[in-house]
């Protein structure tokens, strides 16, 4: 799998895991609370009872922190597994029982530590036996993601052992005694680990949909697998090439097989050179790899000295290279009286078509195409030297091309061409390959490892930035919801018309006071009820009374009302000068009321709700573009052109379920845009936006599929292999 495929799979895997965690943690803590209460009731002495009562208090105080820390720990294990496996092994696959290597006696071990470790092992072992078959399926599928292609069931990032160890890690900060910790593990085993059957089938289905297949054969014969891999690298296997259709993807070898069948007229229609380069006497010896590599190296050096600067130059250069390469190779083999194998010419044809596809690819930005197309000669040289490039989906050259193209596809031109920018790092990777015209596959591996490390670091930073943006967006939504709820409450509570000073206090101050309380304390809290009563007393204070005694009672209540209002003003740090003016105006209003007169009033108008634009809901949903926008999933990418003509691209990071607002971020997790479904639908409808639906598919696979379809169209009678 490419790095970006792993990243996408990690996102989807983590989303499933997060949902399972969130759906079980609340019940777990509630059951644990009941367990502590029951143990406190049945405690044999006051000391034990006090321990459990303290545990209840600590649990209720720190429940949110414990929940958050546990979720973060488990999700970190998943991230490390997919994106940094060595780190995952070191941090999460530790020995559970912490026995010192230099200690020869169990008596030297802290008994509390040992008992806690054994409790963790017990609940994990029980759960592993309960879910054994599913764990085996998961380990066989997830082994595809690991560098060694092997994975034991207790090494799965969602295995009971890893999940239980995460809880043990979080409980390092727990101040309670050992018995309360043991209660954590007992309840966790029953309430969470025993219910993994609700998680594992969904994860297995997700992995299978992502194209992962079990690696049982590799698990059974790791030595044989390593031997075959080494033979492929060294070319010493002595085995015949695999038949086309034997592998599970469209291979370059299969495309070459089609190119071999093309007639001259068909080659011409596809823009391929004639086959004269291979039409030499059969008794001439075959040209050596070095002979061909020297010709390619010369062209590579010339291209490095005068690289194309824009997409137009890149197309011109690419077309010129096709003819120039054929011409130079023909001249060289004629002078040396050697011949070129037809398979080599066909490889040249396919590599040319591969880079033509890159130039025409609708997903990669033009500036990035100009960089990537410069790798054409090095790719051609490697593919002629190492024929496994044709059939090996994980060939190092293909890996690097796929990773560079994946990063390029997510890049927007914002003028950042610095050395450590995405553009700068792709340019460095390309230049390192170009600088050594004789380097073999090892250089591609080295460059790819460096680039993957860079991308992983960028991904971590982007994840943090994206999470912060999402929290800000969620905060805005909560504020919007709270304001709307307060406005609805005020509309019900306030009379149709109120005096201007009261209107001003309610609209500018008390609305914010109630919103803040609603966010912090919630509706129905003591603070909320106090704020509502102050508002009710304010309204009552400006209702004229005919009875003098009632007016006296009304006047006596005003000082306490004003004091409560001032406390509310202070709670939101309202401007003191403007507050004094408001209270002075309210005083005049009270004077009028206490004389038995009605102050001048005005109609209270709550803040307008954001309405739906573009007609009825039914009409909008029937629009295909609105449906595309509404069905856009988190993690999917789009590209669009702004009103100023600038092309942008972003990933959907968060969508509000209330306001339908969508937050888009770039490759580094920075905010690119916020828009609603209707705004995105308008862009799609006008042709100014498009969904990058194939962005997660590696560039080589996209190119092969396109080339294969093009070739089969040239052969109407061709039947696709089964």
Closest to 324 (Cα-Cα) out of 352, 353, 354: 352
Q: Which residues contact 122 (CB under 8 A, 6 or more apart)?
A: 185, 189
Burial of 269 (0-12, 13-18, 19+ CB in 10 A): exposed
Residue by residue, DSSP assigns 576-614 as HHHHHHHHHHHHHHHHHHHTTPPPPEEE--PPPPPPPPS
Question: What is the per-residue pLDDT across 442-466, written as a single tens digit (0 to 9) for each?
Answer: 899 999 999 999 998 888 888 888 8
Mean pLDDT of the region 415-433:
91
pLDDT for residue 535: 92
Whether the pTM exceeds 0.85: the reply is no
pLDDT for residue 230: 45
Task: For residue 673, list its beta bridge partners.
Answer: 664
Question: What is the per-residue pLDDT across 84-132, written as a single tens digit (0 to 9) for each?
Answer: 888 888 788 754 434 333 333 333 334 567 678 778 888 888 898 889 8
Whole-angstrom Cα distance, residue 351 to residue 385?
Answer: 13
Is the pLDDT confidence value at 157 over 80? yes
H, E, C per residue of 638-663: EEEECCCCCEEEEEEEEECCCCCEEE
The count of residues in the chain is: 722
Whole-angstrom Cα distance, residue 96 to residue 116?
Answer: 10
3-class SS of residue 401: helix
pLDDT for residue 221: 35
Task: For residue 689, list its beta bridge partners.
Answer: 640
Mean pLDDT of the region 408-434:
91
pLDDT-based confidence at 263, cuts 50/70/90?
confident
pLDDT greater at residue 439 or residue 609: 439
Is the pLDDT confidence value at 711 over 50? yes
Handedness of CA 188, 190, 195, 200 (dihedral sign): positive
Quote the mean pLDDT of the chain. 82
Is the pLDDT confidence value at 2 over 80? no
Mean pLDDT highest for which of 147-156, 332-341, 566-575?
566-575
3-class SS of residue 676: strand
pLDDT for residue 28: 93
Tokens, residue 127: 């759960």
Closest to 233 (Cα-Cα) out of 383, 388, 1: 388
Mean pLDDT of the region 526-531:
93
Whole-angstrom Cα distance, residue 664 to residue 470?
Answer: 10
Is the pLDDT confidence value at 31 over 80? yes
pLDDT for residue 614: 41
Question: What is the per-residue pLDDT across 536-562, written as a single tens digit (0 to 9) for each?
Answer: 999 999 999 988 899 899 999 999 999
pLDDT for residue 245: 31
Is the pLDDT confidence value at 575 over 50? yes
Whole-angstrom Cα distance, residue 265 to residue 267?
Answer: 5
Which DSSP letter does residue 174 get? -
User: Measured at the alpha carbon of residue 478, what is the angle toward residues 475 and 482, in degrees to the nearest 5?
Assistant: 140
**Range with the lowest mean pLDDT among 171-180, 255-264, 644-653?**
255-264
Span between the terminal Cα atoms of the chain, in Å:
24
pLDDT-based confidence at 165, cuts 50/70/90?
very high
Question: What is the per-residue pLDDT across 64-85, written as a single tens digit (0 to 9) for each?
Answer: 999 999 999 999 999 999 988 8
* CATH class as words, domain 614-714: mainly beta
Mean pLDDT of the region 679-708:
90
Domain boundaries, the chain: 3-223, 249-464, 495-603, 614-714
Is the pLDDT confidence value at 224 over 60? no
pLDDT for residue 721: 43
Whole-angstrom Cα distance, residue 153 to residue 204?
Answer: 14
Question: What is the per-residue pLDDT across 329-340, written as a single tens digit (0 to 9) for each?
Answer: 888 888 888 877
Task: For residue 640, list its beta bridge partners.
Answer: 648, 689
Whole-angstrom Cα distance, residue 66 to residue 128?
Answer: 24
3-class SS of residue 415: coil
Closest to 351 (Cα-Cα) out of 256, 258, 276: 256
Is the pLDDT confidence value at 349 over 90? no
Closest to 654 (Cα-Cα) out of 466, 414, 495: 466
Q: Are 383 and 390 within 8 A, CB to CB?
A: yes
pLDDT for residue 403: 94
Whole-angstrom Cα distance, residue 303 to residue 343?
Answer: 25
Mean pLDDT of the region 421-450:
90
Is the pLDDT confidence value at 250 over 50? no
| H or E, element range at 498 | strand 497-499
Mean pLDDT of the region 671-691:
91
């Amino acid at each position: 799998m490419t790095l970006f495929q792993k990243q996408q799979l990690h996102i989807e895997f983590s989303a499933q895991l997060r949902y399972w965690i969130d759906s079980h943690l609340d019940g777990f803590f509630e059951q644990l609370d009941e367990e502590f209460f029951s143990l406190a009731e049945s405690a044999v002495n006051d000391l034990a009872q006090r321990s459990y009562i303290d545990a209840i208090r600590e649990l209720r105080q720190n429940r949110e922190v414990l929940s958050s820390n546990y979720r973060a720990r488990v999700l970190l294990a998943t991230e490390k597994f997919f994106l940094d496996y060595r780190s995952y092994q070191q941090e999460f696959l530790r020995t559970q029982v912490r026995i010192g290597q230099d200690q020869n006696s169990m008596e030297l071990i802290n008994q509390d530590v040992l008992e806690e470790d054994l409790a963790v092992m017990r609940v994990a072992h029980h759960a592993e036996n309960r879910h054994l078959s599913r764990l085996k399926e998961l380990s066989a599928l997830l082994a595809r993601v690991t560098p060694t292609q092997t994975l034991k069931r207790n090494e799965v990032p969602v295995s009971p052992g890893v999940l239980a160890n995460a809880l043990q890690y979080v409980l390092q900060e727990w101040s309670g005694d050992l018995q309360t910790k043991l209660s954590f593990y007992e309840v966790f085993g029953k309430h969470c680990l025993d219910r993994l059957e609700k998680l594992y089938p969904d994860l297995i289905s997700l992995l299978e949909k992502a194209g992962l297949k079990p690696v049982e054969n590799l698990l059974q014969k790791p030595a044989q697998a390593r031997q075959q891999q080494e033979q492929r690298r060294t070319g010493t296997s002595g085995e015949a090439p695999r038949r086309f259709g034997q592998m599970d993807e469209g291979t370059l070898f299969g495309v070459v097989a089609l190119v071999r069948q093309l007639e001259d007229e068909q080659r011409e229609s596809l823009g391929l050179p004639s086959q004269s380069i291979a039409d030499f006497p059969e008794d001439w010896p075959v040209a050596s790899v070095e002979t061909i590599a020297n010709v390619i190296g010369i062209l590579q050096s010339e291209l490095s000295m005068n690289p194309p600067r824009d997409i137009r130059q890149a197309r011109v250069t690419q077309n010129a290279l096709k003819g120039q390469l054929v011409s130079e190779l023909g001249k060289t083999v004629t002078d040396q009286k050697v011949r070129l194998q037809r398979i080599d010419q066909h490889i040249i044809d396919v590599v040319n078509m591969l880079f033509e596809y890159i130039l025409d690819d609708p997903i990669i930005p033009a500036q990035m195409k100009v960089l990537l197309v410069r790798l054409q000669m090095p790719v051609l040289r490697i593919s002629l030297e190492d024929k496994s490039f044709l059939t090996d989906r994980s060939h190092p050259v293909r890996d690097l091309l796929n990773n560079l193209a994946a990063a390029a596809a997510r890049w927007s031109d914002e003028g950042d061409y610095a050395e450590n920018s995405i553009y700068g790092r792709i340019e460095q990777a390309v230049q390192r390959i170009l600088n050594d015209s004789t380097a073999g596959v090892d250089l591609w591996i080295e460059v790819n490892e460096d680039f993957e490390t860079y991308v992983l670091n960028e991904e971590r930073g982007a994840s943090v930035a994206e999470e912060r943006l999402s929290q800000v967006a969620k905060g805005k939504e909560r504020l919007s919801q709270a304001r709307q709820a307060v406005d609805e409450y005020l509309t019900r509570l306030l009379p149709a018309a109120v005096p201007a000073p009261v209107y001003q206090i309610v609209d500018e101050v008390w609305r914010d006071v109630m919103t803040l309380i609603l966010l912090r304390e919630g509706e129905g809290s003591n603070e909320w009820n106090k704020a509502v009563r102050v508002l009710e007393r304010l309204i009552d204070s400006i209702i004229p009374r005919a009875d003098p005694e009632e007016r006296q009672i009304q006047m006596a209540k005003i000082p306490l009302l004003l004091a409560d209002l001032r406390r509310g003003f202070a709670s939101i740090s309202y401007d003191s000068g403007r507050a004094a003016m408001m209270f002075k105006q309210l005083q005049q209003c009270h004077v009028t009321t206490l004389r038995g007169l009605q102050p001048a009033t005005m109609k209270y108008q709550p803040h307008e709700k954001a309405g739906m634009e573009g007609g009825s809901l039914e009409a909008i949903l029937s629009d295909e573009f609105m449906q595309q926008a509404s069905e856009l999933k988190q993690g999917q990418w789009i590209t669009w052109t702004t009103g100023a003509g600038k092309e942008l691209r972003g990933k959907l990071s968060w969508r509000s379920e209330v306001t339908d607002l969508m937050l888009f971020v770039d490759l580094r997790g920075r905010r690119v845009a916020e828009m609603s479904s209707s705004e995105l639908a308008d862009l799609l409808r006008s042709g100014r936006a498009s969904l990058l639906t194939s962005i997660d598919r590696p560039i080589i696979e996209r190119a092969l599929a396109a080339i294969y379809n093009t070739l089969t169209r040239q052969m109407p009678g061709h039947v696709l292999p089964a």
